[in-house]
Structure 1
């Protein structure tokens, strides 16, 4: 997609971060600022239909998102990078690896699940898509916030709550509906996991209501070169709810993968 909106900050090893539904690239604001200052080139796009990138069609599957990202990297002259995503973004990261394995130096899968939807889950995504087109995003955002973040965040982080609500409430319903319909058809990525040859960081909030710790542990068991970070006092959005802990886990992982590629040792 030629008109993908994005932010490109910093210099160094490129790190592509993919937001989830129904958010935009500001989901990664704490990581964009931190890792750009720490010597990384951080690329954060708005997926089609989200943020400042317009929707295109009424049905957007994960491979479409992945090809949009590849096209953006081509525009930016980035041949290889670490690819990270959260929730739907984690599934897009897996799809990106499936399509373009030679372009991925490492993976970051946050608040994700590798399994395909069950039939009831597929029906719910489609009925939710229809609802968003009828009603808009506001009621959906209000209902969803307590599931997106944990109780501690709701009670102690009004800044995070406002940010999450603003992202959801300003999402284009047409883009969100198209993604929900496409995501309902996503494949089962479990068979892919043992074939992933790059280092992978799996991150999950201790109180994630959508993709619980058991889902992260399942991916960890199937991924041959993976590490698992469980972020305490966080729900589905650990990168916002506990940004320091998330950044520490991601920073350690990026340092280790850089060291491994250089052939060094911890000393």
Structure 2
């Protein structure tokens, strides 16, 4: 565990291993501990694995209000500047995957490869935007507990190992409601990334849980079909978090992708 001051916030992060950099961006409403299996495996396999807590999550500073994806992306760039990392493979899950796409929009020249896990490229429609805003208000009013219990078995499948379900539930309950709400408000305003996909000029891996209700396989296929020569891996027996539910399958796909680089 390490901490860094980036502009006006403090960022908690893990930085393990040596070699080329692999940066992993967590989803909502989680923290960097969702990447523990991958940090452990790939830091032992010759990669320098960096996993930050996004602002508003984990050990990073909570900034109430609205946090748009470009702010998250610039926080990541600032951290990597501080760590002396110029080029890197960048992966993210769910909201983290959308932050990966935003990073590509802002500084594609720094990216060696993209890993897009259980995420979606289109902008929200009116109904989805309204849902994000109303959910943000709900989290601030109620706290994270009711929402966490409501969505747990969409984040992971009902058959997930109990320790995995407990980890996911603990991350959600432990997230600051103001930080989660700020991210939801900002995410409702994200741009549409679909037109950008055809211009991705680095290797890309798209991964999705076969039973993901939040970002179904069709969303993953849209990205893999649009990105030139992207690989698509569907992880059976997993919902929205295959890296935790089926880490062996997820890691096998990621290892093959990294080896191809």
| TM-score, L = length of structure 1 | 0.94
1:166 matched to 2:166? The reply is: no
1:209 matched to 2:213? The reply is: yes
Which structure 1 residue ranges, 5 or more long, are not aligned? 258-267
24-33 vs 1-10, greater mean Cα deviation = 1-10
Deviations for 1:191-215, whole angstroms, at most 9, x for unmatched residues?
0100110000000000001000010
Q: Which residue of 2 aligns with 1:38?
A: 45
Deviations for 1:92-116, whole angstroms, at most 9, x for unmatched residues?
0000011001100000000010011
Correspondences of 1:92-111 after superposition (within 5 Å): 92-111=99-118
In structure 2, how many angstroms separate the alpha carbons of the residues matched to 1:226 and 1:144? Answer: 30
Deviations for 1:216-255, whole angstroms, at most 9, x for unmatched residues?
1111110013100000100000000000000000000000
Q: Which residue of 2 aligns with 1:19?
A: 26
**Contact 1:112–1:215 under 8 Å retained in 2:** yes
Q: Which residue of 2 aligns with 1:247?
A: 251
Q: Which residue of 2 aligns with 1:73?
A: 80
| Residue number among 178, 192, 195 corresponding to 2:182 in the alignment | 178
**Contact 1:198–1:225 under 8 Å retained in 2:** no
Deviation (angstroms), 1:118: 1.1
Which structure 2 residue ranges, 5 or more long, are not aligned? 1-5
| Residue number among 83, 95, 106 corresponding to 2:90 in the alignment | 83
In structure 2, how many angstroms separate the alpha carbons of the residues matched to 1:240 and 1:187? Answer: 28
Deviation (angstroms), 1:117: 0.7
Q: Which residue of 1 aligns with 2:194?
A: 190
Deviation (angstroms), 1:55: 1.5
Structure 1 counterpart SS, 2:198: helix
In structure 1, how many angstroms separate the alpha carbons of the residues matched to 2:162 and 2:50? Answer: 27
| Residue number among 133, 136, 146 corresponding to 1:129 in the alignment | 136
Structure 1 counterpart SS, 2:256: helix
Deviation (angstroms), 1:124: 0.5
Deviation (angstroms), 1:54: 1.4
Deviations for 1:124-169, whole angstroms, at most 9, x for unmatched residues?
000000011011001110001011111321xxx0000000000000
In structure 2, how many angstroms separate the alpha carbons of the residues matched to 1:124 and 1:57? Answer: 19
In structure 2, how many angstroms separate the alpha carbons of the residues matched to 1:54 and 1:119? Answer: 30
**Contact 1:10–1:36 under 8 Å retained in 2:** yes
In structure 1, how many angstroms separate the alpha carbons of the residues matched to 2:61 and 2:143? Answer: 16
**Count of residue pairs brought into register by the alignment:** 254
Structure 1 counterpart SS, 2:11: coil
